[in-house]
A and B are shown apart, each in its own frame.
Chain A
Amino acid sequence: MNAVYGLFAGLSALLLVVAGFAVVTRRHFAAVVGFTAFGLLLSLAWVALAAPDVALTEAAVGGGVTGVLLLSASVQMRAKMEVLPSWGVRFIAAVLAAIVTAGLMLVVLMLPDEAPTLAPAAKESLAFTGMGNPATAVLMAYRALDTMLEKVVLLLALVAVWSLGRDHFWGGRPDFDFSTQTSGPLLLLARVLVPVGVLVGIYLFWVGADEPGGAFAGGALIAAMGLLAFFAGVARPPLVGSGWLRWAVVAGIAVFLIVGFGGFWGAGDFLAYPDGLAKPVIVVIEVAMTLSIALTLVLLVVGPPGRRP
């Protein structure tokens, strides 16, 4: 047991060091690299906390796609070094942050000994949903409304990112052009890794009902493959104005809504799943959602249209 404690303590220390480096260093690029490493380490922490679903999501998003996003911004930035405020400001900020941290630590220690939990309730209702993975049950059944709203958030973020383009590029392709030095290895990687990766992504979402995985982790993996394909120049980002793209982007929420209102007819409530059909219906939603998530994530990273249609 002590060894496990030591391991966790070491992991925590490593996390803090890397995060501290990412926050404190003056070089933007280094900070972003540090943050990506932090994301990967964090997913280890999630495994330690018995949250494999979160670990997968964190690895795909926190360490993966977010890293790419931040990297793309840091590469483009003209200033490579951060201009920090005066010593006094930093000191006051550090004191304030330290007080908050200390307070939080105190609160962590004061958390009730008998932790209040919804685990029994979740477990009890698990049978109705026909799923084996309680986290997925929470996401897709108990708190499905959250998940739907969250997908709207994602879609809206896409609209928001698109709205940052320029008027004359509207309808065109995002300008995500890193293929100036397309090279053999990258090409090879794209050709080999992308199909396998997409397969793994689909697998992740498929097993998500019963095992760690789920639509978001799967979608994020597929998105990463898409980005790799763009990097290697194997594929081009789609036209923002194209019809299929729009349909694909909204598919997840649309199916959600259809199933939701179907619930009135089938089970008397919005987003209620008919007895025995819960799992297939959820899988249908997840198929559409995985597609939409993958596409939306890719589009979020490649940014607004930057070339004339």
Chain B
Amino acid sequence: MSEIFGFTAACLVGLGLYGLIVHSSALRKILSFNVLGSGIFLLLGVIARRGAAAGLVADPVPQALVITGIVVAFSATALGVALIRRLDEDDEEEGEP
């Protein structure tokens, strides 16, 4: 089972990287970054699941890392989106007059 999600994680990483390279708009780059991040988190999840031991269904340490990672990735997304929105506002202001 770990292989299935492990492969999925690898594919998500690849998809994210592809998107990061080819997209010209920042929004789509951020979206791709999130896909990439999800792939990495999923990989950590697989590692956690493989580490089931001592009566725990999974190793809690990588899971905690993922939770922290999700928060960090979200912060990055928020900052990126704020930058994009600001640039778009500037565009509109330049366009209007």
A and B together in one complex = yes
Q: How large is the interface on A (under 10, 10 to 19, 20 to 34, 35 or more residues)?
A: 35 or more
Q: Is the CB of A138 within 8 A of B5?
A: no
Q: Is the CB of A23 within 8 A of B27?
A: no
Q: How far is the CA of A134 from the CA of B43 in the complex (A)?
A: 20
Q: Is the CB of A139 within 8 A of B27?
A: no
Q: Which one of A89-97, A186-194, A267-275 contacts B?
A: A89-97
Of residues 1 through 40 on chain B, the ones whose CB sits less than 8 Å from some CB of chain A are: 1-19, 21-25, 27-28, 30-32, 34-35, 38
Q: What's the minimum C-beta distance from B46 to chain A, rounded to whole angstroms? A: 7
Q: How far is the CA of A97 from the CA of B11 in the complex (A)?
A: 9
Q: Is the CB of A119 within 8 A of B22?
A: no
Q: How far is the CA of A89 from the CA of B71 in the complex (A)?
A: 33
Partner of A49 from the list B46, B65, B78 (CB cut-off 8 Å) is B46
Counting chain B CB atoms within 10 Å of each CB, the highest count among A74, A117, A157 belongs to A117
Q: How far is the CA of A102 from the CA of B14 in the complex (A)?
A: 9
Q: How far is the CA of A79 from the CA of B78 in the complex (A)?
A: 20
Of residues 61 through 97 on chain B, the ones whose CB sits less than 8 Å from some CB of chain A are: 61, 63-68, 70-72, 74-79, 81-86, 88-89, 91-92, 95
Q: Is the CB of B51 within 8 A of A69?
A: no
Q: How far is the CA of A266 from the CA of B7 in the complex (A)?
A: 47
Q: How large is the interface on B (under 10, 10 to 19, 20 to 34, 35 or more residues)?
A: 35 or more
Partner of B10 from the list A50, A105, A303 (CB cut-off 8 Å) is A105
Q: Is the CB of A115 within 8 A of B47?
A: yes
Contact A54 B67, CB 8 Å, known A16-B11, A118-B59: yes
Q: Is the CB of A8 within 8 A of B25?
A: no
Q: Which residue of A lies closest to B28 (CB)?
A: A82
Q: Is the CB of A143 within 8 A of B61?
A: yes
Q: Is the CB of B42 within 8 A of A117?
A: no
Q: How far is the CA of A104 from the CA of B46 in the complex (A)?
A: 13
Q: Which residue of A lies closest to B53 (CB)?
A: A119
Contact A108 B27, CB 8 Å, known A20-B15, A134-B60: no
Q: How far is the CA of A138 from the CA of B48 in the complex (A)?
A: 13
Q: What's the minimum C-beta distance from A175 to chain B, rounded to whole angstroms? A: 9
Q: Is the CB of B84 within 8 A of A73?
A: yes
Interfacial chain A residues near B25, Cβ < 8 Å: 28, 77, 79, 82-83
Q: Which one of A31-39, A199-207, A228-236 contacts B?
A: A31-39
Residue-wise, chain A 21-65 has the 8 Å CB interface mask toward B (1 for contact) of 011100010011001001100100110111101100110011001
Q: How far is the CA of A62 from the CA of B66 in the complex (A)?
A: 12
Partner of A154 from the list B13, B50, B59, B71 (CB cut-off 8 Å) is B71
Q: What's the minimum C-beta distance from A307 to chain B, rounded to whole angstroms? A: 13
Of residues 123 through 179 on chain A, the ones whose CB sits less than 8 Å from some CB of chain B are: 123-124, 134-135, 137-139, 142-143, 146-147, 150, 153-154, 156-157, 160-161, 164
What are the 9 tightest A-B residue pairs by CB atom distance, in nearest-first order? A117-B51, A101-B14, A108-B6, A157-B75, A134-B60, A138-B64, A104-B10, A115-B50, A120-B54
- Which A residues are within 8 Å of any B CB, using their own CB? 4-5, 8-9, 12, 15-16, 19-20, 22-24, 28, 31-32, 35, 38-39, 42, 45-46, 48-51, 53-54, 57-58, 61-62, 65-66, 69-70, 72-74, 76-79, 82-85, 89-90, 93-94, 96-98, 100-102, 104-105, 108-109, 111, 115-120, 122-124, 134-135, 137-139, 142-143, 146-147, 150, 153-154, 156-157, 160-161, 164, 214, 216, 297, 300-301, 303-304
- Which B residues are within 8 Å of any A CB, using their own CB? 1-19, 21-25, 27-28, 30-32, 34-35, 38, 41-43, 45-61, 63-68, 70-72, 74-79, 81-86, 88-89, 91-92, 95
Write 6 A-B pairs (CB below 8 A) sorted by A numbering: A5-B1, A23-B28, A49-B42, A93-B21, A120-B54, A304-B82
